[in-house]
Amino acid sequence: MKISIQPIRPDFAGEVFGADLRKPLSKEDVTAIEAGMDRYAVLVFRDQRLSDDEQIAFTTNFGAIENAQGGNITKDHEYRLKEGMIDVSNLDQSGKPFDRSDRRRMFNLGNRLWHSDSSYRAIPAKYSLLSARTVATLGGNTEFADMRAAYDALDADMRELVADLVCEHSLLYSRGAMGFTELTEAERMAFRPVYQRLVRTHPVTGRKSLFLSSHIGTIVGWLVPEARDLIRDLIEHATQRDFVYAHVWCQYDLVIWDNRQTMHRVRRFDESQPRDMRRTTVAGDMATAVQPDRPN
C-alpha cells in the first residue's frame, strides 16, 4: 500500500487515500498514519468495510487496546459487541434502538457534550477509532475541535493562568451536567474523579494543547464555581467554529482522532433509526498528573 494524506483544513483533519485497512499494514504505512495523526490530529478513511476483528487488528498497530472497565453503566449481560469493541450505537443487545427512558441511552446522551475520550481515567486514551456501520438518517455528525489551535490562541495572561492547573475529571460531572444523576453506589465508586493537567504537551511534536473535557468538575485548589466559570469560558473559546471540523458520516467511514489534542461531540440525530457506530480505543501510556490519595 502507498498511502497519501490530503488536509481537510490547513492544519487540522486529513483524509487518507490508498489504504485498505482490512489488510495488514506495512511498517511504513503505520509510520505514515502516525505522522499524519501527529500533524492533523484527526484522520478520515472512506469506504473501509471492516469486521470487528479487522478493526481491532488495525487498532493494535498504534498501541494496546484500552481496558473499557469503568467507562459506562452497561451490565455484563447487556453487551452487544465483543470485548475490545466500544458500542457507541443507539442499539440494545437485540439490535433495536433503545427505549426513550433506557438508562444506557440517558448515559450516552453525555456524548453530546464536548469531551476527550477517557479523560476520566488516570491514564487517558491515546487514539479513538470510530467505524460507521450504519449511519444516522438525520443528524449525527461528529464534531472535532483542535485543542492545539485553542491553546495557541490564548493570550499571554491566560497561558500563565492555566500553565500549571490540574483538573478533576469524572463521568459523574459530565453525566451530572446532563441531569443524569441516578447512579448506584457501585457506579459512583467506579466513576471517582482523577486528576489531569489542563495544559499538556504532545510527546512527539512538543506542541502544547488544552486538555479540556466536559468530564471536568473542578480545578484542584479552586472553589467549584470559580473553576466551572473558567472551564466553561475555555471550552467556549476552544470550540469556536474556526477550530472545529464537523464530520458528516458516510457508511464505512473510519475516523481516528487523537484524544490528547482534540475534543469531540456527537450532534443530535433521529434516534428512532439505528445508528451503529463501533469504537476501538488505543490506551495512553502515561498519566498527566499525580493522582489523588485515596483508599482502593
Angle at 178 between CA 254 and CA 192, to 5 degrees: 85
What's the closest the beta carbon of residue 192 comes to Fe ion, in angstroms?
20
The cell numbers describing 109, all together, are 446522551
Instruction: Tell me the β-bridge partners of 42.
Output: 257
Decide whether 117 or 276 has the Cβ nearer to Fe ion. Answer: 117
Parallel, antiparallel, or unpaired: how do β-strands 14-17 and 42-45 relate? parallel
Decide whether 117 or 271 has the Cβ nearer to Fe ion. Answer: 117
Cell 434502538: give the residue: 97
Tell me the C-alpha distance between 213 and 215, whole Å. Answer: 5
Neighbouring CB atoms inside 10 A of 289's CB total 19
Question: Pattern of binders to Fe ion over 105-144, x per CB under 5 A?
Answer: ------------x---------------------------
Decide whether 29 or 213 has the Cβ nearer to Fe ion. Answer: 213
What's the closest the beta carbon of residue 7 comes to Fe ion, in angstroms?
23
What's the closest the beta carbon of residue 117 comes to Fe ion, in angstroms?
4
Decide whether 117 or 253 has the Cβ nearer to Fe ion. Answer: 117
Tell me the C-alpha distance between 255 and 262, whole Å. Answer: 13
For the chain, the first-to-last Cα distance in angstroms comes to 48
Residues binding Fe ion: what is the number (CB under 5 A)? 1
What's the closest the beta carbon of residue 124 comes to Fe ion, in angstroms?
12
73, 273, 279, 70: which is closest to 180 by C-alpha? 73
Tell me the C-alpha distance between 263 and 234, whole Å. Answer: 12
Burial class of residue 294 in the structure, from the number of CB atoms within 10 Å of its CB (0-12 exposed, 13-18 middle, 19+ buried): exposed
Decide whether 58 or 257 has the Cβ nearer to Fe ion. Answer: 257
Decide whether 117 or 168 has the Cβ nearer to Fe ion. Answer: 117
Decide whether 111 or 288 has the Cβ nearer to Fe ion. Answer: 111
What's the closest the beta carbon of residue 114 comes to Fe ion, in angstroms?
10
Decide whether 66 or 117 has the Cβ nearer to Fe ion. Answer: 117
Footprint of Fe ion on 232-291 (CB under 5 A)? none
What's the closest the beta carbon of residue 161 comes to Fe ion, in angstroms?
27
What's the closest the beta carbon of residue 24 comes to Fe ion, in angstroms?
28
What's the closest the beta carbon of residue 108 comes to Fe ion, in angstroms?
10
Where along the sequence are the contacts to Fe ion (CB under 5 A)? 117
